[in-house]
A and B are shown apart, each in its own frame.
Chain A
């Protein structure tokens, strides 16, 4: 079965320090991976996606993610955290069946708290 796991419910980091939000996946076939961010009382916003090619994907707001096929991981990173990065982050993988429907499986989310 296809799935996505976010092993940490919450990540705490000091402003200015690097941050990592972890994601691992299990899919049949090629993995198509996404990161979204949700600010309080808002919908989800797309950050970045991995389809193929370079294992380091750059996205919005200075975020990047590293695809690692051998570890089946797609961790979200940022070199220097900002207080305004505090939000709920979701990893997702596209379901690989039934045509190009772009249906996604989402992880349970990781709350990022950046302390001043």
Chain B
């Protein structure tokens, strides 16, 4: 079974803090994704990585950056957290070969910015 883990289930931060969300997968997947989930808006893609050190902006990258130094780990960084970044953050992974391939999701991190 694919396992995707996220560093925290719940996180509370202050406005202006730098926030790191970590995602680790154990299935050697090339593709990794960061989404945010908000009621009524579904899932929106923040950033995508298709290989180590490779990244692409998604639909809502403003205020976020990412890092992928190792294949199994994909980090989402909020450079200066703001209250409008309060949300559920979901990490996902998938194979790139063949396809279209389903994505496998982590349990999510519910971030509250005060």
Contact = CB atoms under 8 A, between A and B. Distances in A.
Interface of A: 9, 32, 34, 36, 41-46, 49, 51, 90, 94, 100-104, 106-109
A43 B108 contact: yes
A46 B102 contact: yes
Nearest to B91: A43
Contact of B105 (A43, A101, A102, A103): A43
Interface stretch (B12-20, B43-51, B68-76, B78-86): B43-51
Interface string B99-114: 1111111111010000
A104 B104 CA distance: 12
Given A41-B108, A100-B98, A108-B40, 14 more contacts: A9-B40, A34-B102, A41-B107, A43-B107, A44-B43, A46-B102, A46-B103, A100-B97, A101-B31, A101-B48, A102-B94, A102-B100, A103-B45, A106-B44
Nearest to A42: B107
Interface residues of B, number: 32
Nearest to B9: A41
15 contacts: A41-B9, A42-B108, A43-B106, A43-B107, A44-B43, A49-B100, A49-B102, A90-B42, A100-B97, A100-B98, A101-B31, A102-B101, A106-B35, A106-B44, A107-B42
A13 B64 CA distance: 40
Contacts of A103: 33, 45, 48, 58
The listed residue with most B CB atoms (<10 A of its CB), out of A45, A103, A107, is A103
A85 to B, nearest CB: 19
B4 interface: yes
A25 B58 CA distance: 20
Contacts of B98: 100
Contacts of A34: 102
